[in-house]
Amino acid sequence: MRAGRLAGSRNALTSALLLLPAAVLLWVFTYQPIVTTVIDSFFSTARGRRPSVFIGSTHYETMVADPVFWKALVNNAIYAFTTIPISMALALAMALFVSGKLRGRGIVRMAYFTPTVLPMVAVANIWLFFYTPDYGLVDQLLRHFGGGGANWLGSKETALGALIVITIWKEAGFFMIFYLAALQQISPTLMEAAALEGASPWQRFRRVTLPLLMPTTLFVSINAVIGAFRLVDHVIAMTRGGPDNATVLLLFYVYQVGFGYWDTGYAAALTVVLLAMLALIALFQFGYADKRVHYR
């Protein structure tokens, strides 16, 4: 009987062996840390001789009263809701530009895509120089129009906007690729049919192209939202969250609390909020988005 069962579960055995390395690594660096993050968020940070003790929801109470946390949350929302729509609209425009007949199409496409292959730290360094008051590129250009002289990264009003600009510059070309792929899949017959019906180019775009691009738009926006919570390299390289916390994003705050102040308990509680955000996005994707846009 045992032998029979073994034969029946040979698939399972082979599978188990093949899956073992991936399973161990995913457990150690993704699942287990999720669990311990949640547990740690209810314990105090061990300091010196004082061990970590259970403190209930104290970290969460601190968080609710912590203005920097709220600032990070609001900043992250502003950051996501500006970078994502703008870079996606630009990406769509770029894709439409290079998918049609255009002189020097290859060069134009390369120009759009190049910022994507640069590391965010390098992008940050280049733009730090551009944003330098008075003699940076931005001020040099603005001087021609009578502007300039602003300390883009140094003042509370403009610092987050300055980061938003470089994010759009870096991401738009990446999103373009997905739209480009989707545009290639749209059958020309559909367009011709619409044209025969007397639809203007704008109507064709609005009624045919845009709806057909809906799955791509959702796919890209979900990835963009995850990116908005995950990428803080430019905050570290350019502003360190300043001035006056004007550019603190959630993950940067986790980094600052965890590795600047070494308050790992509080950092865990902040991470839980970050995880909750990402979980919400996941639920949206699996529950809502997949049902609504997959019509094939």
- Per CB under 8 A, contacts with another protein among 237-256 are 237, 251, 254-255
Residue 113 interacting with another protein (CB under 8 A):
yes
Name residue 221's amino acid.
S
Residue 46 interacting with another protein (CB under 8 A):
no
> How far apart are the C-alpha atoms of 288 and 69, rounded to whole Å?
29
Half-sphere exposure of 195 (CA within 13 A, CB side): 6
Nearer to another protein, 69 or 174 (CB): 174
Of 121, 224, 115, 106, which is closest to residue 175 (Cα–Cα)?
224
| Composition of the chain by helix, strand, coil, percent to 5 | 75, 0, 25
> Which one among 130, 155, 158, 208 touches another protein, defined by CB under 8 A?
130
Residue 103 interacting with another protein (CB under 8 A):
yes
Half-sphere exposure of 95 (CA within 13 A, CB side): 26
Residues in the chain: 296
Residue 140 interacting with another protein (CB under 8 A):
yes
Q: Which stretch binds another protein (CB under 8 A): 62-70, 77-85, 154-162, 224-232?
A: 224-232
Residue 228 CB neighbour total at 10 angstroms: 23
Q: What are phi and psi of 249, to 5 degrees?
A: -110, 160
Number of residues that bind another protein (CB under 8 A): 93
Question: What is the nearest approach in angstroms of another protein to the Cβ of residue 230?
Answer: 6
- Residues in region 50-89 near another protein by CB under 8 A: none
Of 1, 2, 83, 37, which is closest to residue 273 (Cα–Cα)?
37
Q: Which stretch binds another protein (CB under 8 A): 47-55, 56-64, 69-77, 192-200?
A: 192-200
Question: What is the nearest approach in angstroms of another protein to the Cβ of residue 212?
Answer: 14
What would the two tokens of residue 87 be? 């870079």
Residue 281 interacting with another protein (CB under 8 A):
yes
Q: Determine if the peptide bond prior to 201 is cis (ω within 30°).
A: no
> Which one among 46, 117, 190, 276 touches another protein, defined by CB under 8 A?
117
> Which one among 181, 190, 210, 276 touches another protein, defined by CB under 8 A?
181
Residue 118 interacting with another protein (CB under 8 A):
yes
Q: Which stretch binds another protein (CB under 8 A): 57-65, 66-74, 133-141, 151-159?
A: 133-141
What would the two tokens of residue 103 be? 């002189």
Q: Which stretch binds another protein (CB under 8 A): 54-62, 81-89, 127-135, 148-156?
A: 127-135
Residue 183 interacting with another protein (CB under 8 A):
no
Residue 189 interacting with another protein (CB under 8 A):
no
Q: What are phi and psi of 47, to 5 degrees?
A: -130, 125
> How far apart are the C-alpha atoms of 190 and 116, rounded to whole Å?
32
Residue 229 interacting with another protein (CB under 8 A):
yes
Q: Are 218 and 295 in contact (CB under 8 A)?
A: no
> Which one among 4, 21, 149, 188 touches another protein, defined by CB under 8 A?
21
